[in-house]
Amino acid sequence: MLLDQFKSFVRENVPLAPYTWLQLGGNAKYFAEPVDAEQLQRLVAEASRHSIAIRLLGGGSNVLVKDSGFDGLVIQLIAPAFQKIGIQGNRVTCGGGVRLSHLVTACVANGLAGVEHLVGIPGTVGGALRANSGTEEGDIGHAVREAQMLRRNGDLVNVTGNQLAFSHRRSSLDELAILEATLELQPGDVKYLTKREQTFWILKRSRQPNHPTRSALAFIDPDGESAGELIHRTGFSGLIEGSVQMNATHPNYITAGTGATADQVLALLEKVKKGVHEKTGVRLQPHLVVW
């Protein structure tokens, strides 16, 4: 059905593992890379009419695909139409498919302060806004003034002002896709901001595995606490399930070895989540989204 109408940019039975950090899981029934918003809208509207499940794929850092694959449509916004960054004064408008690292670099280069501490966080702007990504220095939501989203029926919706709501690793931007967002930042000195960006980058890398191949962050830090510290304190760092392991040095990272499966990842995450709750009373929320 989809291939008949959109065969120029929709493929069938596409392996998803190469698109994710853990490099696990099966195939997508359909995989699409639309060239612009109009093409995207038509595709989503048609898939919705036929009750086809849809997922948006960003950087793949927080995605765990089931071993059986995803029986639906996976969309990736990598076309130039979704990668634009425009700067006017202290306002930055960017596409949802822009890499967060590219947005940070562009803002710093133009002397705009307020997002340099987000350097090193993987994924796209769309994903960062949906999850309100941040560090101890603050989150991305504080700077957002407008957003354009695509609903699951293919309609576009613009949200501004008090329609925007952000909290710890959550936002009100919960439609199918975030196509564009406008951020309001503060003027700053380029040299100073560049040094800050470099410092935050070094700090971020020091908290990640030295060899991050097939590794991914496992849990969201609870408000005011560190998931990694909780895992270490309760004795679950280094825990192994089949060919997957909680990193011994960076306990909140999970690594997939040769022969690993998505089922093994899920089993290990459940063991850690249950164990931490039993010992501390804290219910860890998974950072990985299961497809």
Give me the active site residues, please. 169
Closest CA to 100 of 78, 118, 117, 75: 118
- Give the whole-angstrom CA distance, residue 138 versus residue 145: 16
Q: Are 74 and 32 in contact (CB under 8 A)?
A: yes
- Give the whole-angstrom CA distance, residue 169 versus residue 223: 9
Q: How many CB atoms lie within 10 A of CB 163?
A: 12
Q: Are 82 and 166 in contact (CB under 8 A)?
A: no
Angle at 217 between CA 142 and CA 134, to 5 degrees: 10
Single-letter amino acid code for the residue at 159? V
β-pairing verdict for 70-76 and 54-57: parallel
Which residue do the tokens 């997922």 mark? 55
Taking 3-state DSSP, the helix, strand and coil percentages for the chain, each rounded to the nearest 5, stand at: 30, 30, 40
- Give the whole-angstrom CA distance, residue 230 versus residue 289: 21
